[in-house]
Chain A
Amino acid sequence: MSAYSDNMEQAISHIKQQTILMQRSLTQKKLMDALKHCSDMLKELRNPDLSPKLYYELYIIIFDSLSILSQYLVENHPTRHHLADLYELVQYTGNILPRLYLMLTVGVSFMQTKDCPAEEVLKDMIEMCRGVQHPIRGLFLRYYLSQRTKQSLTSDISLDKKFDIQFIITNFIEMNKLWVRLQHQGPLRERDLRTKERKELQILIGSNLVRLSQILDDSFALYRDEVLPQILEQVIQCRDVVSQTYLLDVICQVFPDEFHLGTLSQLLDTTLKLNPDVVINKVVLSLIARLNGFWDRQDDPNAIIQNLNHLKLDSNTDEEEHSADDGESTAEKLDSEPVSRNKFDLFFVFWKYLTKITEERPDLPLHEIIPLVHSIMLLSLKWYPSNLSNVDILYKFCWEKYQDFGKDIPEECEQSFKELFIYPLSTDNFYEIITTCDSFQKLLSVQSITLQKSIINSILDKMVETNTKITDKQHLDKLGAICEPIISVPNNKPKTSILTVSDDLDSELTFFNPEQEKLAKLVHLIYHKNVDINTELLLICKKWYYNGGKQLRFTYPALITAFWKLIRKLHFKSLKRPERKEDYNAKIKQLFKYVSRCNTDLFNVCGLSISDLIFKLNLQTAAIADQLTLSEISYDFFSQAFTIFEESLSDSKVQFQALVNMAQVLQKTRSLYNDEGYYDTLITRCTLHGSKLLKKTDQCRAVYLCSHLWWATELTLIGEEEGVTKNFFREGKRVLECLQRSLRVADSIMDNVQSCQLMVEILGSCCYYFIHGDESETHVGVKYIAGLVELIQANLKGLQLEESGEVQDFTAPSQTIVIGCDGSYICKTLSSSTCMVSSKIPNVRIPDLIAVPVSYFERTLEYIENQKQVDYRFNAITT
């Protein structure tokens, strides 16, 4: 008999050839010849140089060939031969490997017949398999046994279930041993290759467990008492990393969820006894993933919790002892938690495990513990979503661990910690978790600033996204503590110089700050239907934000808005219940004080850089107070605005815009016309400031706009109507005075274009008043307008003379320019649809510049002409 072939091609063709010969012998009923051919092809499996992959290929072909033989054997028993005899006969085959394959083939065929002492044959076969101790050969041989017996073990002539199971377990144990031994074959430097090959073979071992699971069906007691202990013992004893990792994973995967629930502590205890190199959290994670999947698949998950108690009671008494052993240490830890622990609480099982593992394995690195905690948290949030003390315990545990490890936290932990914080945010009760779990904040606060900020940002995003209202003081305080790192800015810049101008400028330029934006949005989530409580919440928030230093300018405006809203709410209430008006008014006044306090804080902390903002906040607050007829308060805020205007607004452009804005707000007030003469004081001062602005063009515009302060107009929003409402505040004489003064300034301006432009603007104002009332009221009459028109015409003539004196550059393209409401030149860009806006005189042709007031004047005249058709009084104006 020849030995095995040198290469795969030869081996395969040899096997195929022998298979054909075997088949031929079988059709000729020459069984002995057939057996000879079989034994011949089986020799190929003796090749020790084949890699597992190639070996498997050969195995598959041979398996098929032997199936043909097996079928023949069964069909012809006992007519042509007796399988018991054959079983004896094949034992005389020369080589051990072919001999055993043939034995197994015959033996299994024999078992399919009725008169077979199946148990004995099985026992004999498995005993014989010990004869092959070469890992790969042995593994495949036993795999062959397991594959062949699969059918007979599940068929109806089946034996005792217990025996079957024992048979499979025995085979499994032996296979695992061989598998582990494979690791130690060959030279040391090929270890990695070995490990790779082993992983290719793992399915052979795993298939046994799959078979077990199929046979067991739903007999839990058998699993718990017979199967699992034996398997786990083998897992522990083999002390092999690859094997332990793989097998525990397979156990988690193949057996039913209910089984796992009943044997949790056994499984978990096993993980404590593993080779230290095994990554425990992988095992636990797959177990928990399994349990969570189970939860998801249930129609009524809550029923499981009920059943769980039942299951646990069924479970072995061994566990009772366990909990008695460990009970003390864990109970001690849990004592501090105000939760009564159900011993059949799934979380409790894992928690117990967690404490145990950290006691028994103090060497376990942090980056392995954290994922473990993370997976337990997944479990808790899935099974006991409302029991947040579980989560808190876990965070606390991490925090303690963190303390133990001291400062040297490896970087790889960062990601695990991050997941630990981020995961709860995806659950429905994330808000409860972050606000009620004290340890969440505690643990977060010891993380690196970058991580903290990233978590805080996620929290704030989530809050805004889900529109989670903050209604509780404790919650707000907790959030404040969590957000502390982005609220407080380390303000440790030593002030060596009194000149902080550059510093202010910097902060002015960086006006975007996404984090502060989120903090500001948080204010809008604070809500309580009770105004007093809501106020209190806002004050707490204010207190937190006060630590922000210059960041106040991002957050305080939002707070002020929140106070405004409360004020308006109280106003509605007092409308609804006039009998309680006084009570509400007292509260409103208090709220205005808070607004004022915010403004003061802003001013003190942020200083000049945002005085324009504070000015406007004061104005708007004054307007709100006025709308509630709180003239005192309104006056106070207006005077605050004046103070800021006088002391802190220095840029001339800012001054002009601020002053005109103030005129706009003042013009809409209604409550200030009292005996104290508040309105008069304020508008006179406003106009005075207008007339004292730096640039004459600004003076001119400010003053003609201030003329409106003596001419109240209808507020349609509150139902006033021109001609119906009688008591508008109007003093035509003063209006005219303003216009005259404005005109004088315009006339004195050196720049002819601006001067003419301003005069046309004043003409526009005159038309406004002319439309608004009779000359007897407005004092702006036909004569005045006609005079103004004449003056403008004369000035424009002068302007055009200037044009003719200029050397013309006709090559430059003509451009349309207009002057905006603040005197800036709005000049169309050639390339796009937009305009360049600049306060400087643009570099264009002089005629284009002169055309600005000319065409504006023409448009105004055209307007006056048009008005003649609807208002006869206009006819008196000759143009």
Chain B
Amino acid sequence: MLLLALSDAHIPERAIDVPLKFRKLLNVPNKIQQVTLLGNCTKSASFLKFVNTISENIVFVRGEFDPATVSTTKNPAEEMPLSTVISQGPFRIGCCNGYTLVPKNDPLSLLTLARQLDVDILLWGGTHNVEAYTLEGKFFINPGSCTGAFSTDWVQEDVEENYKTSEQQEPAEASTNGSNQQPKEIKEEIKEPSNNDSEKSGEDKADIIEDKGNSEEHLQEGKEYEHDSSDDEFDDIDINGGGIPSFCLLDIQDITCTLYIYTYVDNEIKVDKVVYRKD
């Protein structure tokens, strides 16, 4: 079965809409069995309508900017849970926006939550930054923001660095600067818990299929550095904090969960695939 994970749309307060190409791609009624909205997705009637056309089976959790209750077909004021669990085949899948998780986005905190919820896969959001990794035999997936909405988190270091370095470089080099960028994390690599001591603790089951040459060049692209103008154009992605529009699709067959990561870079959709098996 196919499970779609969308998060942090922030329509309309931070973004206008999901990229058109995403909408076209997802416009396949009756293909996807379940949709999870991992927070900050309930402010837009048109967005929810769109989600409803994908599947009527929607699971939602509360993000910090969601109202406390949402109106559903069953209940005009259904309370939005902070965390919930979906059972699919042998998998228990936890969903949580993670805005009450301290420290935010911390792999060990997420692991603790996964243990508490007794889940194999944990879907979370709130960071506007797509990533997926396995830790302690569990699969952690953050689909990022489906609109690439503005994030109030710290701006990624490489983005800031980029602006700093352009000061020192010759204008000619500044424009090619972008290609030297670290690929922004569609973290295909298996991320270990940050602590040194537990570095080898992960028993990683994920087979990673990497899409090479996937590094993004959207930063500073074709940008000319002008010394005397103070009205330079800045990349919207940088302004938004570095997050690109993205979402995840989980294909669950028996004990295998295949994760497809869709990202929207330079008006093109890129797909990455990660396979996770339950022991």
Which residues of A pack against B, CB within 8 Å? 464, 467, 508-509, 511-514, 517-518, 520-521, 524-525, 529-531, 554, 557-558, 560-561, 564-565, 568-569, 572-573, 575-578, 580, 612-613, 616, 620-621, 623-624, 627, 651, 653-654, 657, 660-661, 663-664, 667-668, 705-706, 708-709, 713-719, 721-723, 761, 764-765, 767-768, 771-772, 816, 818-822, 824, 826, 828, 832-835, 837, 855-856, 859-860, 863, 866-867, 869-871, 873
CB pair B102 A664 closer than 8 Å: yes
Give every chain B residue within 8 A of A660 (Cβ-Cβ): 100, 102
Smallest beta-carbon distance B191→chain A, Å: 9
Q: State the CA gap A61–B87 with chains docked (Å).
A: 82
CB pair B45 A514 closer than 8 Å: yes
Q: State the CA gap A564–B45 with chains docked (Å).
A: 24
Q: State the CA gap A833–B85 with chains docked (Å).
A: 9
Give every chain B residue within 8 A of A856 (Cβ-Cβ): 115-116, 118
CB pair B67 A768 closer than 8 Å: no
Contact partner of A833 (CB less than 8 A), chosen from B46, B87, B102, is B87
Q: State the CA gap A558–B81 with chains docked (Å).
A: 25
19 A-B pairs whose Cβ atoms sit less than 8 Å apart in the complex: A464-B17, A521-B12, A521-B16, A531-B231, A561-B150, A565-B239, A568-B241, A578-B167, A627-B154, A627-B155, A667-B104, A706-B102, A717-B154, A718-B155, A821-B82, A837-B81, A860-B115, A867-B198, A870-B200
Instruction: Given the known inter-chain contacts A524-B16, A664-B103, A771-B195, please indicate yes or no for A835 contacting B157, CB distance below 8 A.
Output: no
Task: Give 1 or 0 for each of B11-48: 1 = CB within 8 Å of chain A CB.
Answer: 11111110000000000000000100000001111100
Instruction: Given the known inter-chain contacts A613-B65, A771-B193, please indicate yes or no for A715 contacting B13, CB distance below 8 A.
Output: no
Task: Give 1 or 0 for each of B135-164: 1 = CB within 8 Å of chain A CB.
Answer: 010000000000000101111110010011
Give every chain A residue within 8 A of B12 (Cβ-Cβ): 517-518, 520-521, 524, 554, 558
Q: Does B190 contact A (CB under 8 A)?
A: no
Contact partner of A717 (CB less than 8 A), chosen from B15, B79, B157, is B157
Give the contact-size bracket for chain B: 35 or more
Q: State the CA gap A513–B112 with chains docked (Å).
A: 39
Smallest beta-carbon distance B29→chain A, Å: 19
Q: State the CA gap A514–B11 with chains docked (Å).
A: 11
Instruction: Given the known inter-chain contacts A509-B71, A511-B67, please indicate yes or no for A529 contacting B233, CB distance below 8 A.
Output: yes
CB pair A821 B96 closer than 8 Å: yes
CB pair B82 A772 closer than 8 Å: no
CB pair B154 A821 closer than 8 Å: no
CB pair B115 A509 closer than 8 Å: no
Instruction: Given the known inter-chain contacts A713-B194, A771-B198, please indicate yes or no for A708 contacting B103, CB distance below 8 A.
Output: yes
Q: State the CA gap A627–B11 with chains docked (Å).
A: 24
CB pair B160 A828 closer than 8 Å: no
CB pair A616 B65 closer than 8 Å: yes
Q: Does B2 contact A (CB under 8 A)?
A: no
Smallest beta-carbon distance A467→chain B, Å: 8
Smallest beta-carbon distance B230→chain A, Å: 7
CB pair B195 A722 closer than 8 Å: yes
Give every chain B residue within 8 A of A855 (Cβ-Cβ): 118
Give every chain B residue within 8 A of A837 (Cβ-Cβ): 79, 81, 83-84
Q: Does B106 contact A (CB under 8 A)?
A: yes
Smallest beta-carbon distance B113→chain A, Å: 6
Q: Which residue of A lies closest to B158 (CB)?
A: A719
CB pair A664 B231 closer than 8 Å: no
CB pair B196 A723 closer than 8 Å: yes
Q: Does B197 contact A (CB under 8 A)?
A: yes
CB pair A717 B87 closer than 8 Å: no
Q: State the CA gap A467–B87 with chains docked (Å).
A: 41
Give every chain A residue within 8 A of B240 (Cβ-Cβ): 565
Task: Give 1 or 0 for each of B188-213: 1 = CB within 8 Å of chain A CB.
Answer: 00000111111111000000000000
Q: Does B260 contact A (CB under 8 A)?
A: no
Most chain A beta carbons < 10 A, residue from B84, B85, B106, B155: B85
Contact partner of B152 (CB less than 8 A), chosen from A557, A564, A576, A816, is A564
Instruction: Given the known inter-chain contacts A524-B16, A663-B102, please indicate yes or no for A834 contacting B232, CB distance below 8 A.
Output: no
Give every chain A residue within 8 A of B86 (Cβ-Cβ): 833-835
Question: DSSP majority for the A interface?
Answer: helix
Q: State the CA gap A821–B117 with chains docked (Å).
A: 8
Smallest beta-carbon distance A611→chain B, Å: 12
Give every chain B residue within 8 A of A512 (Cβ-Cβ): 45, 71
Contact partner of B112 (CB less than 8 A), chosen from A530, A718, A764, is A764
Q: Does B88 contact A (CB under 8 A)?
A: yes
Smallest beta-carbon distance B1→chain A, Å: 9
CB pair A576 B83 closer than 8 Å: no
Contact partner of B101 (CB less than 8 A), chosen from A524, A664, A765, is A664
CB pair B118 A818 closer than 8 Å: yes
CB pair A464 B103 closer than 8 Å: no
Smallest beta-carbon distance A692→chain B, Å: 18
Task: Give 1 or 0 for each of B40-72: 1 = CB within 8 Å of chain A CB.
Answer: 001111100000000001010010110110010
Smallest beta-carbon distance B128→chain A, Å: 11
CB pair B102 A529 closer than 8 Å: no
Give every chain B residue within 8 A of A713 (Cβ-Cβ): 103, 106, 194
Give every chain A residue within 8 A of B258 (Cβ-Cβ): none
Smallest beta-carbon distance B55→chain A, Å: 12
Give every chain A residue within 8 A of B59 (Cβ-Cβ): 834
CB pair A768 B112 closer than 8 Å: yes
Smallest beta-carbon distance A656→chain B, Å: 8
CB pair B46 A517 closer than 8 Å: yes
CB pair B152 A624 closer than 8 Å: yes
Q: State the CA gap A668–B152 with chains docked (Å).
A: 11
User: What 7 new A-B contacts, CB under 8 Å, besides A772-B195, A859-B118?
Assistant: A564-B152, A657-B82, A718-B154, A764-B116, A818-B116, A824-B82, A870-B197
Contact partner of B43 (CB less than 8 A), chosen from A511, A531, A568, A718, is A511
Give every chain B residue within 8 A of A520 (Cβ-Cβ): 12-13
Q: State the CA gap A409–B197 with chains docked (Å).
A: 81
Q: Which residue of B lies closest to A509 (CB)?
A: B77
Q: Which residue of B lies closest to A584 (CB)?
A: B230
Q: State the CA gap A580–B238 with chains docked (Å).
A: 20
CB pair B201 A866 closer than 8 Å: yes
Give every chain B residue within 8 A of A624 (Cβ-Cβ): 152
CB pair A616 B85 closer than 8 Å: no
Q: State the CA gap A569–B234 with chains docked (Å).
A: 7
CB pair A719 B157 closer than 8 Å: yes
Contact partner of B13 (CB less than 8 A), chosen from A558, A663, A706, is A558
Contact partner of B103 (CB less than 8 A), chosen from A531, A654, A667, A867, is A667
CB pair B100 A653 closer than 8 Å: no
CB pair B84 A834 closer than 8 Å: yes
Q: When A and B form their complex, which 5 residue pairs have the shortest distance between CB atoms, in order from nearest? A: A837-B81, A557-B13, A520-B12, A820-B83, A870-B201
Give every chain B residue within 8 A of A771 (Cβ-Cβ): 108, 193, 195, 197-198
CB pair B201 A871 closer than 8 Å: yes
Q: State the CA gap A661–B101 with chains docked (Å).
A: 8
Give every chain B residue within 8 A of A867 (Cβ-Cβ): 198, 201
Q: Does B166 contact A (CB under 8 A)?
A: yes
Contact partner of A818 (CB less than 8 A), chosen from B43, B46, B117, B157, is B117
Instruction: Given the known inter-chain contacts A578-B167, A715-B154, please indicate yes or no for A616 contacting B118, CB distance below 8 A.
Output: no
CB pair B166 A576 closer than 8 Å: yes
Give every chain B residue within 8 A of A818 (Cβ-Cβ): 85, 116-118
CB pair B194 A722 closer than 8 Å: yes
Contact partner of A576 (CB less than 8 A), chosen from B13, B103, B164, B194, is B164
Q: Which residue of A lies closest to B194 (CB)?
A: A722
Q: Which residue of A lies closest to B241 (CB)?
A: A568
Contact partner of A820 (CB less than 8 A), chosen from B117, B155, B233, is B117
Q: State the CA gap A873–B34 with chains docked (Å).
A: 43
CB pair B88 A569 closer than 8 Å: no
Contact partner of B99 (CB less than 8 A), chosen from A651, A661, A706, is A661
Give every chain A residue within 8 A of B57 (Cβ-Cβ): 832, 834
Smallest beta-carbon distance A559→chain B, Å: 9
Contact partner of A859 (CB less than 8 A), chosen from B45, B67, B115, B232, is B115
